[in-house]
Amino acid sequence: MQVVILAAGQGKRMHSDLPKVLHPLAGRPLLAHVLGTARAAGASEICVVYGHGGERVREALAQEAGVAWVKQEPQLGTGHAVQQALPLLAEDSLVLVLYGDVPLTAPDTLTRLIVAAAGSKLAILTVEMEHPFGYGRIVRDAVGRVVRIVEEKDASPAERAIREINTGIMAVPARHLRRWLGRLRNHNAQGEYYLTDIVALAVEDGVPVETAQPRHVWETLGVNSKAQLADLERIAQRETAHRLLEDGVTLLDPARFDVRGELVCGRDVEIDVNCVFEGRVELGDNVRVGAHCVLRSVKVGAGTRIEPFSLLQDSEVGTACQIGPFSRLRPGAMLAEEVHIGNFVEVKNSRIAARSKANHLSYVGDATVGSDVNIGAGTITCNYDGANKHRTVIEDNVHIGSDTQLVAPVTVGRGSTTGAGATVSKDIPPGTLMYTKAETVIRSDWKRPVKAPKK
């Protein structure tokens, strides 16, 4: 089976410089969803017909392997678009036509369509809509056979009353497709070559026209405006939430939950409201994620609690850790088991070993922290000299006093302690105490300033 994806539309109603098929749905471009569905349905080869903003489309999806790109210029309708792909289609193949702005079609729906096309038939995906305005109508004869498709602008009042509509998705043998595309004419209100006109040509040639239907109407909905995109986003998130609930994940409110990538959960995971998951996120057994958290490309070990308003990105968290509230893990943060990262603590490009803690108002950047370390409130690693980053090493069982500045490159030896307010710019030997001595001055003759009277 070969797949042709039509993705040349400009998308004027999106009111955006971004090509329509690149607008994100659940964190991925619309076209990426369609490519994934095509592969899941068993496509051997995929051809994307692109047009407006084409080079941007190709660049954005350059990582998609096994895709042939064909440019449609000018854009003269869907029939003309498929014609551009004809040189790439094998004569004996079945061709599945999809659309780059219809992202939610299920693979099993396409499988039913493919089965309906068996025996060199033309199969089209149809659906009944309560309000079918704007869609091409399926016209059947007295015994229910499909005889043609009529577009909204060309339909009579009786035809516009038909509720069964054409989704545009179809499966057709390449040898028929090649013959019919050459017979298309643009004698219609749009002056375009409609792919749907091949239905009437199939009837004329005595080729059976079969139909298949999706489980849900929303599988066939396309995106032509930001409002429609927002509607499909909520549908996609609802379906993701439903799948997670079926798998045993506890979502405290499925309607306030967003996955913009891939979320993999173990057993007994609980997720509070308004959490966002981007990229690939893995949550181990018994993980708890508090409200209003954002996790981007993160792996979280079993039994870890992430308190509200925390942001974790490109990081790995071990088992039984406690993160937050209001914590930030930046790229390269690697936490071992039972690590505590508390409120308003930021960790970047650092490894923190087992049972170490930074509970309040600290910055740990470009650091290697041993096990059983306590980092006091207000501590910062001064890792940047204005041009280069330098590393701080804190060995096992170290106690860092509050408000300590660690000026990298520096090593704090095993079992040592720094006093509150210390500035550490030299290596500290193991098992020692380091503090910064400051003179304390008390003046009895000092008076607090008062505000000058207004003139």
270, 274, 273: which is closest to 288 by C-alpha? 270
Round to whole Å and give the CA distance between 310 and 275.
10
Of 202, 217, 36, 254, nearest to 126 (Cα)? Answer: 217
DSSP, collapsed to helix, strand or coil, labels residue 79 as helix
Sign of the dihedral through C-alpha 86, 29, 248, 269? positive
Q: How far is CA 436 from CA 27, 316, 357, 372, 409, in A?
A: 50, 35, 23, 24, 18
- With a CB cutoff of 8 Å and minimum separation 6, the contacts of 17 are none
Query: Cis (ω within 30 of 0) for the bond into 132?
Result: no
Q: Distance from first CA to last CA of the chain, Å, rounded?
A: 88
Which member of 216, 292, 360, 390 is catalytic?
Answer: 360
Q: What is the dihedral of CA 416, 420, 426, 430, to 10 degrees?
A: 0
Q: CA 429, CA 197: separation in Å to the nearest integer?
A: 83
State both tokens at 275: 């959490």
Clarify whether 390 is annotated catalytic: no
Q: Catalytic positions, please?
A: 360
